[in-house]
């Protein structure tokens, strides 16, 4: 366990080396972590908290209120959308047109604008929950018609391999896609964030243009499920 402060300094330093000082946000992933440990990290400056399940994120909101911002980074089922829309949660993991439509519908009912990111599966692993690239055009087309949902970037997970070149290839591809989509100037789509990088691959992710790294075990220690 390295603690929040050390990791934050490490990330700031890598970002600076890459000429992007202050350009990388650290999202502390608090899955299964004790409340006391999270409190300590907030005292050390943690400003953004991520969970992969809506009910866990809602629990964190009860615990920590408006001291931090909240990020949903895991698979969201359509029947759970209503539990989080209206709570100012940034949803990183929107991975289908059907899910997007549900978020739009609930946001209209709640009278809010929900910020989302499109999660793509570029590592092409069965276990990854992102959207296949073949569905991306339809998603962007749909996205550009939304009135209560706004897309601010995309999320990608690196492949679960030891080969750094392979990981780098996936992150490069993600960055290039992000830039390409940004260049189209589509209505309602502002590609300012690229959520990529975890404990094992955050350095490569930052070098390749990540603006948000999602780190859990390196801050809080190994998880006990």
Ligand X SMILES: *Cc1c(COP(=O)(O)O)cnc(C)c1O
Q: Which of 15, 26, 73, 194 binds ligand X (CB under 6 A)?
A: 73
Burial group, residue 18, by CB count within 10 angstroms (0-12, 13-18, 19+): middle
- Under the criterion CB under 6 A, does residue 217 sit at the interface with ligand X? yes
3-state secondary structure of 117: strand
Nearer to ligand X, 93 or 107 (CB): 93
CA–CA dist 211, 111 (Å, integer): 29
Interface stretch with ligand X, choices 14-22, 40-48, 64-72, 196-204 (CB under 6 A): 196-204
- Under the criterion CB under 6 A, does residue 90 sit at the interface with ligand X? no
- Under the criterion CB under 6 A, does residue 31 sit at the interface with ligand X? yes
- Under the criterion CB under 6 A, does residue 53 sit at the interface with ligand X? no
Site size toward ligand X (CB under 6 A) is 13
The answer to whether the CB of 31 falls within 8 A of the CB of 216 is yes
Interface stretch with ligand X, choices 41-49, 141-149, 158-166, 193-201 (CB under 6 A): 193-201
The one-character DSSP state at 44 is T
Nearer to ligand X, 85 or 215 (CB): 215
Nearest one of 177, 189, 155 to 75, comparing CA atoms: 155
CA–CA dist 16, 18 (Å, integer): 5
Tell me how far, at minimum, the Cβ of 119 lies from ligand X, in Å.
9
Nearer to ligand X, 73 or 100 (CB): 73
Kindly provide the b/e burial profile for residues 44-62, where b requires at least 16 CB atoms within 10 angstroms of the residue's own CB.
eebebbbbbbbebbbebbe
- Under the criterion CB under 6 A, does residue 74 sit at the interface with ligand X? yes
Tell me how far, at minimum, the Cβ of 139 lies from ligand X, in Å.
19
As given in the structure block, the two tokens for residue 145 are: 């018609």
Residues in the site for ligand X, rule: CB under 6 A?
29, 31, 52, 73-74, 198-200, 214-218
């Amino acid at each position: 366990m390295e603690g929040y402060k050390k990791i934050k300094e490490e990330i700031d330093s890598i970002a600076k080396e890459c000429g992007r000082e202050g350009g990388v946000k650290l999202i502390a992933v608090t899955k299964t972590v004790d409340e006391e440990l999270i409190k300590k990290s907030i005292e050390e400056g943690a400003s953004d908290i991520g969970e992969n399940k809506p009910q866990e994120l809602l629990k964190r909101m009860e615990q920590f209120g408006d001291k931090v911002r909240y990020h949903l980074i895991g698979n969201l089922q359509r029947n759970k959308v209503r539990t989080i829309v209206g709570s100012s949660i940034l949803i990183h993991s929107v991975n289908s047109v059907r899910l997007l439509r549900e978020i739009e519908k609930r946001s209209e009912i709640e009278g809010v604008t929900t910020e989302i990111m499109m999660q793509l599966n570029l590592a092409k692993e069965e276990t990854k929950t992102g959207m296949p690239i073949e569905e991306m055009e339809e998603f962007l087309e749909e996205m550009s018609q939304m009135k209560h949902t706004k897309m601010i970037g995309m999320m990608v997970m690196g492949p679960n391999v030891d080969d750094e070149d392979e990981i780098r290839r996936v992150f490069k591809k993600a960055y290039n896609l992000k830039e390409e989509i940004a260049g189209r100037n589509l209505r309602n789509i502002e590609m300012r964030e690229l959520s990529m990088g975890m404990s094992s691959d955050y350095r490569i992710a930052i070098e390749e243009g990540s603006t948000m790294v999602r780190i859990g075990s390196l801050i809080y220690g190994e998880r006990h499920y």
